[in-house]
Chain A
Amino acid sequence: MPYPEEMVAPMRAELVEMGVRELRTAADVDAFFADKSGTSLILVNSVCGCAAGSARPGLGRALRTDKHPDRVATVFAGQDLEPTAKAREHFGDIPPSSPSMALFKDGELVHFVPRHMIEGRDALGVAAGLIEAFEEYC
C-alpha cells in the first residue's frame, strides 16, 4: 500500500532537485528507454530510511563528477507501481529490490546496485561505488 503522498514528496523532490527525471507513468519509462544512445541510469527510489537515505544523496554526489550518465531518471517503488514494474522489465532476471540503481550503456545493462549493496553504506560510500562504475562505463 503506498505511503501518503505528503510523506514521500520530499523523497521525490530530493532527486528532482539534483536533476533526476521522475518517471510517473509506463509511457514515461518507455520514452526514457527508447533512447538507447550513450549511458543512462535509473534509480528505483524507496521510502526505506536507512538505504534510500544514502542512495539519493549518494547518487547526487556521484552526478557531480565529470563522468556521469547522459540521462538519469527515477521510479518510486511501492508508490508508482506501473512505471516501476515497467522499468524492472529492463533489468533482465535481476530480482527486484529498492532502492537500487541500474546503469545502461547503449541500451545494455552494464552495472546494477541492489539494495543490499546500499544498506550500511553512507552517501559517500554509495557515491564511491557509483563513481567507479561511471569511470568505467560513462
Chain B
Amino acid sequence: MGTFHTGKSELHGITLALRTRDEVYVGRCDDMNDEHVILLDADGHRDGEGGKSADAWLDRAAKFGVAPKLPRLVLPMADVTEYAPLGEYYSGVGKTKAAKPAAEPTPAPAAPAAADALVTLTDAAVKEVKRILAEDGRPGLGLRLGVVGGGCSGLVYKSELDAPRDGDVVVPNDGFDVLLDRKSSIYLRGVTLDHQGGLDGRGFVFRNPNATNTCGCGESFSV
C-alpha cells in the first residue's frame, strides 16, 4: 500500500535542507543528479534577509517545515555546498547540527553481518527490541522481520512484534527470537538491523549488503 516511483534519485520524496553560498533552501526532493537538484514545494532564505540568519531560518524549518512558496525549484549542484535530509538536521529544540557535506559517504554499519549470516542485530537494536517487548507485555512474541512489495525501490522492510508461525525461520537472539517467513529470509540474508534512537533518530534501520538500489528514506530497496 503506497506510492511507487521509478527512475528517480534515492532521495526522491525526502525533504531536504540545502545550502548554497548565500542562501538556504528546504523542499521535497523530486530528483538529484550530478547536474542539478529539483525541489518541490520549496522555500528559501537569503542569509540576513528580514534580519534573520540562514541558521535561524533553518532551525525553524527543521522544527515545523516550510510553507510551499516555490512549486518547483531547480538548483545547479555546482551551487550546492551542503545538503541533508531535514529530519536529520533537527537535533532538539534550540540545537542544530551542521548539514552533511554533499560528498560525505553513509557511515558503515557498526557491526557488519557475515555474508552467510541470516540476520544480525546490533546491540542498540537488541536493546530497543527488548524494551518494546517489555512494554508490550504479551508473552511468546518475537521480532518478525520481513519484506513485502512496494515503496520507491521495489521492496519494503517490515518489522513488528508477532508470534511464531508454521514455517518460520527462527533466529534465536538475546532473550527473544527473530522470526522470518521463508520468502523474506531469502532477501534478508546478511542483513544487519540497527536502531537509531532519539527524536532525531531513524528508528530501526536495515543495512542490506544485497541491495543494489535503496530508496532515500531507507524504507524500500531492490536486489
List, in ascending order, chain A residues with CB within 8 A of B216's CB. 120
Using CB atoms, name the residue of chain A closest to B26: A116
Structural contact, A122 and B204, CB atoms closer than 8 A: yes
Assuming A49-B150, A50-B219, A53-B2, is B65 touching A122 (CB within 8 A)? no
Q: Does B179 sit at the interface, judged by CB under 8 A?
A: no
Interface residue SS majority, chain A: helix
Using CB atoms, name the residue of chain A closest to B204: A122
Structural contact, A122 and B219, CB atoms closer than 8 A: yes
Contact of A49 among B1, B65, B157, B199 (CB under 8 A): B1
Structural contact, B68 and A95, CB atoms closer than 8 A: yes
Structural contact, A120 and B14, CB atoms closer than 8 A: yes
Per-residue interface assignment for chain B, residues 61 to 103, with 1 indicating a CB less than 8 Å from any chain A CB and 0 otherwise: 0111111100000000000000001111010000000000000
Assuming A125-B203, A132-B199, is B219 touching A116 (CB within 8 A)? no
B-contacting residues, A37-52, CB 8 Å: 47-52
Per-residue interface assignment for chain B, residues 3 to 22, with 1 indicating a CB less than 8 Å from any chain A CB and 0 otherwise: 11000000001110000000
Q: Does A97 sit at the interface, judged by CB under 8 A?
A: yes
List, in ascending order, chain B residues with CB within 8 A of A10's CB. 1
Q: With A and B bound together, what is the CA distance between A120 and B90 in angstroms?
A: 14
Structural contact, B199 and A50, CB atoms closer than 8 A: no
Assuming A50-B2, A95-B65, A115-B15, is B217 touching A125 (CB within 8 A)? no
Structural contact, A50 and B13, CB atoms closer than 8 A: yes
Assuming A95-B67, A117-B90, is B204 touching A124 (CB within 8 A)? yes
List, in ascending order, chain A residues with CB within 8 A of B150's CB. 49, 53
Q: Does A128 sit at the interface, judged by CB under 8 A?
A: yes
Q: Does A121 sit at the interface, judged by CB under 8 A?
A: yes
Max chain B C-beta neighbours (<10 A), residue from A51, A97, A116, A128: A116
Structural contact, A49 and B3, CB atoms closer than 8 A: yes
Q: Does A107 sit at the interface, judged by CB under 8 A?
A: no
Structural contact, B64 and A112, CB atoms closer than 8 A: yes
List, in ascending order, chain A residues with CB within 8 A of B15's CB. 115-116, 119
Structural contact, A120 and B64, CB atoms closer than 8 A: no
Q: Does A74 sit at the interface, judged by CB under 8 A?
A: no
Q: Does B215 sit at the interface, judged by CB under 8 A?
A: yes
B-contacting residues, A46-91, CB 8 Å: 47-54, 57, 64-65
Structural contact, A48 and B13, CB atoms closer than 8 A: yes
Assuming A50-B13, A65-B135, A114-B65, is B85 touching A126 (CB within 8 A)? no
Structural contact, A51 and B217, CB atoms closer than 8 A: yes
Q: Does B197 sit at the interface, judged by CB under 8 A?
A: yes
List, in ascending order, chain B residues with CB within 8 A of A120's CB. 14, 85, 87-88, 202, 216-219
Which B residues form the contact surface with A (CB < 8 A)? Answer: 1-4, 13-15, 62-68, 85-88, 90, 128, 132, 135-136, 150-152, 156-157, 159-160, 196-197, 199, 201-205, 215-220
Provide 5 A-B residue pairs closer than 8 Å at the C-beta atoms, listed in order of the A residue.
A95-B67, A116-B86, A119-B85, A120-B202, A125-B196
Given A65-B135, A117-B199, A119-B14, 9 more contacts at CB 8 Å? A50-B2, A51-B217, A53-B151, A115-B15, A120-B14, A121-B87, A121-B203, A124-B132, A126-B203
Closest 7 CB pairs of A and B: A125-B203, A49-B2, A116-B15, A49-B3, A95-B67, A120-B217, A116-B86
Which A residues form the contact surface with B (CB < 8 A)? Answer: 10-11, 14, 47-54, 57, 64-65, 94-97, 112, 114-126, 128-129, 132
